Structure 1
Amino acid sequence: MSNASIGSPEQLRDPNYTPPLAKAIPLGIQHVLAMFVSNVTPAIIVAGAAGFGFGSNSPDFPELLYLIQMSMLFAGVATLLQTITLGPVGAGLPIVQGTSFAFLPIMIPLVAGKGVDGLAAVFGGVIIGGMFHAVLGLFIGKIRFALPPLVTGLVVTMIGLSLVKVGIQYAAGGVPAIGTPEYGSLLNWSAALVVIFVTLGLKFYARGMLSVSAVLLGLIAGYIYALMTGMLTFDTIASSWSNASAFALPQPFKYGFEISAAAVIGFCLMGFVSAIETVGDVTGITKGGAGRDATDKEISGATYADGLGSTVAGLFGAFPNTSFSQNVGLIAMTGVMSRHVVTCGAVFLIICGLVPKVGGLIRTVPIEVLGGGVIVMFGMVVAAGVSMLSDVNWNRRNMVIFAIALTIGLGLKLDPGALQHMPDTARILLTTGLLPAAAIAIVLNLILPDELSEEATEEVSGGMSGHGKGSLPAE
């Protein structure tokens, strides 16, 4: 599909331009394909952490389907807030919203082993945290100074590092299989490796949508491999399809509402980080698609929509939403800036969210196959964080901030037992690893002088001295 057949160069750079419907719908579905796997994966991971049974005959199966269904439905609703706008809410830009990975380190400890009972506190945190996130739209531009690339790069890197263990466990057979002979078997790993190799092949040797949708196509290849090797049977697929209804509406407060200090504090703090991520995505869209900087109104509107979308999602049993960076790259690739194209994709997501049979099919993906995709996705999160850190001026001051924040944050994540005597709220927040790392980096960045003494730095760094933007310290 050539750009000339869609509109003139001036029209393509205009967010308010509406391409012909026959062109807009396929372009909108492209956006959905680019984010589809990433959007539903957090729901599956939280369900696994809560101890839900994944089989189609499990009593928890309907709950898992509902979480997947809500992920699709409210990603579509939040995207509509961004594209259509509602008063000051929404940027009026082609921003695709989806379930955020950033909140997983907060949600997993809250639900660990608690089943459905752990979800009330999570959704209480989602709702209140979403409100806080929306309020940030009033002054988001004034707090960006507190989150330079040193801080945001560290936070994004920590998000990925906090989650890579999940990918390995899934690829080896899933958390329920730990300790069994099947865990870590060659068959399990072979399915994950098929996904990884196909994804890498398409990402680097294909072009266009084949490259953009590499993870989705990798999972499809793994799915076919699972059918060929007997890991998945057509009977299982038929059972999941028949046990899922054809249509269902969301249920308000399905899992209750509970105010947990750990959940509220955690979601509010991560809302702060997510807001800055959205600012970056909005800027990337306007620069890549229209060749200009984002306006204050667009940045504020996008932040409002982030928060309001998450609040509404929490009311009905969906997790926090944020703007999806992969779709920023898709706009730069297609050159189509129309927000109405993304609106078509949002409508498609909403339709999928109202049809639980779609969730039923998604759930038939073997955990080992999903593990291959998760390894790639979380690895890319780490890589994105490292890319942000490449913009840091690695002087002595920034090296010390990064070293202390990463060491304490990652150390607490790796050994949560070190805080066993802390109160429950503090223990949950600190053992995420992410929040202490972010807090330490933000505070040290604000209070430490621009230049530390050489003696103090060399005592910490073993004589290494930092120099130059994006460069390694000299020996």
Structure 2
Amino acid sequence: MMEGKSTRSNSVFDLYGRPPITRAAPLGIQHVLAMLVGNITPAIILAGAVGLSTGESTLLIQAAMFIAGIATLLQLYPVGGRSNFRIGSGLPVIMGVSFAYVPTVLSIANNYGIAGVLGAQLVGGIVAIIVGIFIKPLRKFFPPIVSGTVVLTIGLSLYPIAINYMAGGVGAANYGSLKNWAVAIVTLVVVLICNNFTKGITKLASVLMGIIAGYILALALGMISFSGVGDAGWIAIPRPLHFGIKFYPTAIITMSIMYIVNSIQAVGDLSATTAGGLDREPTDSELSGGIIGNGTASILGSLFGGLPTATYSQNVGIVAMNKVVSKFVLLLAAGTILLAGFIPKIGAIMTTIPQSVLGGATISVFAMITMTGIKLITQDEMSTRNVSIVGLAIALGMGITTVPGALEQFPEWVTEIFTSSPVIIAAIVVFFLNIIVPKKTIDEEKKERQEIADKEKIG
């Protein structure tokens, strides 16, 4: 179904379907729970790194929820509709503050303060918009082998996050405890049972079912504290330019490079969404609008203290897993996220969910992202040329970022950019190798080997 056509369908599997609220709400809530910790954690990390007061830390966290809600709404319901220039993809994706920017944000904050981060972010958002405008002529450089490699690397890079969650969260006093692993495994088992042995809403909301089961077990084991809920306020209004905004050339260049690379990752996430949920590749206008929408949200975020945003891969995985693509479902999720940006108590309640529960619930989702990447890659022939390009890109991306100090002799800006996420290196390598290495089909490679063998016989 195309944009603008009838929306009478009540199917959750229809992009424009409007299912009953009783069916849509649980599916929307599981999207919120899947992204919540990832969305607020970068703000918490930054607040701690620069020594913000409790009040200012709360403002930074609330800004993260506010901007995530706005960014998601822009993606679901683009400004500009079906025009050539639109803000938003029109696809069922959840946006949030991106972990990929954290090392860069911390480095800039240490040198120039939060105002320097937000200034660089504003310019980075403009760069993303420019990339989005020109993505159509650049689209030929992002065939399935490129976008699929990016998606596959995204999936692989998320596994350590899921395992750390399952173990209780990095820095937790009980990290790796039997309690954490028991809760995580029970959560995962419930997700698998609901997804593979049940029907109806329990199957579609399998992630939510797992979170509920894990939460109940964690509560019984005394792993949940509600002290933060009581301390949280009822209303928090975002404050424009509260943290100020300043522009520094080094910070701007570093952040702009990050936004260019993140735009490539967005191509991968949007491709994974359409391939996993809609069984097709994204259109030029969807890719363009998605990247422009992210840039616009980041510009808006820089004015309110919301950090750089990106498509959320774990939510892409949920769409790929349950095939629920109804934008109405994600509208409920976006509304909840946005509401949490104004009512701290909502976010406080959600943050009582132990990380071991979230880890058990999301690791299967991350696995789906990986498999979606493989699905995209195999749309092209698995020639020696393609296999070597994909393998090398993933090897360098995963290898360099998992070996501490591998680039420590390089300039600081190099380590800031290329060690923040394996997706960055993998995306750059597969992008350029696909352009540089001559294209050969399996038949052409076979013919070439035969010619070599014939020459050896003659010799």
**Residue 102 of structure 2 is aligned to residue 107 of structure 1:** yes
Map of 1:439 onto structure 2: 428
Change (3 A) 1:417 1:343: closer
Match of 1:184, as an amino acid? G
Q: Distance in 2 between matches of 1:25 and 1:44?
A: 27
For 1:342-391, what per-residue CA distance to the aligned partner results, in whole angstroms no more than 9, with x for missing partners?
55554443223211101111222223333323433433333332332232
Q: 1:97 aligns with which of 94, 97, 101?
A: 94
Q: Distance in 2 between matches of 1:92 and 1:158?
A: 22
The two structures have a TM-score, normalised by structure 1, of: 0.75
| Deviation, structure 1 residue 62 | 5.8
Q: Distance in 1 between matches of 2:110 and 2:329?
A: 39
Map of 2:414 onto structure 1: 426
Report the identity percentage.
Answer: 29
Map of 2:221 onto structure 1: 229
SS class of match (1:357) = helix
**Residue 440 of structure 2 is aligned to residue 448 of structure 1:** no
Q: Distance in 2 between matches of 1:33 and 1:362?
A: 10
In the alignment, structure 1 segments of 5+ residues that lack a partner are 1-5, 459-475
Map of 2:4 onto structure 1: none
For 1:242-280, what per-residue CA distance to the aligned partner results, in whole angstroms no more than 9, with x for missing partners?
111111112334555465243331122112331454366
Match of 1:320, as an amino acid? T
Query: What is the root-mean-square deviation in Å for CA atoms of aligned residues?
Result: 4.1
Q: Distance in 1 between matches of 2:132 and 2:293?
A: 9
Map of 1:325 onto structure 2: 316
For 1:120-144, what per-residue CA distance to the aligned partner results, in whole angstroms no more than 9, with x for missing partners?
6654554333322222332322212
1:314 touches 1:320 (CA, 8 Å); kept in 2? Answer: no
Q: Superposition pairs for residues 6-405 of structure 1, below 5 Å?
A: 7=8, 15=16, 25-26=21-22, 29-30=25-26, 32-46=28-42, 52=48, 66=59, 69-87=62-80, 88-90=85-87, 93=90, 95-99=92-96, 103-108=98-103, 110-111=105-106, 123-124=118-119, 126-177=121-172, 182-232=174-224, 236-237=225-226, 239-257=227-245, 259=248, 260=251, 261-275=253-267, 277-278=269-270, 281=273, 297=285, 300-316=288-304, 317-322=306-311, 325=316, 333=324, 343=331, 346-405=334-393
| Deviation, structure 1 residue 209 | 3.3
Change (3 A) 1:257 1:400: farther
In the alignment, structure 2 segments of 5+ residues that lack a partner are 1-6, 450-459
Q: Distance in 1 between matches of 2:311 and 2:435?
A: 26
| Deviation, structure 1 residue 36 | 1.0
SS class of match (2:95) = strand
Q: Distance in 2 between matches of 1:24 and 1:446?
A: 48
| Deviation, structure 1 residue 431 | 1.7
| Deviation, structure 1 residue 153 | 1.9
Q: Distance in 2 between matches of 1:203 and 1:315?
A: 41
How many residue pairs get aligned? The number is 426
Change (3 A) 1:249 1:256: same
| Deviation, structure 1 residue 438 | 1.3
Q: Distance in 2 between matches of 1:430 and 1:293?
A: 28
2:187 touches 2:361 (CA, 8 Å); kept in 1? Answer: yes
Change (3 A) 1:377 1:60: farther
Match of 1:439, as an amino acid? I
Change (3 A) 1:64 1:366: farther
Q: Distance in 2 between matches of 1:266 and 1:92?
A: 20
1:35 touches 1:326 (CA, 8 Å); kept in 2? Answer: no
Q: Distance in 1 between matches of 2:53 and 2:156?
A: 29
The two structures have a TM-score, normalised by structure 2, of: 0.77
2:162 touches 2:360 (CA, 8 Å); kept in 1? Answer: yes
1:195 touches 1:221 (CA, 8 Å); kept in 2? Answer: yes
1:82 touches 1:89 (CA, 8 Å); kept in 2? Answer: no
Match of 2:175, as an amino acid? Y
For 1:131-175, what per-residue CA distance to the aligned partner results, in whole angstroms no more than 9, with x for missing partners?
222223323222121122222222222223333223222322332
Q: Distance in 1 between matches of 2:440 and 2:289?
A: 37
2:194 touches 2:203 (CA, 8 Å); kept in 1? Answer: yes
Match of 1:99, as an amino acid? G
| Deviation, structure 1 residue 79 | 3.5
Match of 1:268, as an amino acid? I
Change (3 A) 1:60 1:378: farther
Change (3 A) 1:202 1:369: same
Q: Distance in 2 between matches of 1:368 and 1:341?
A: 26
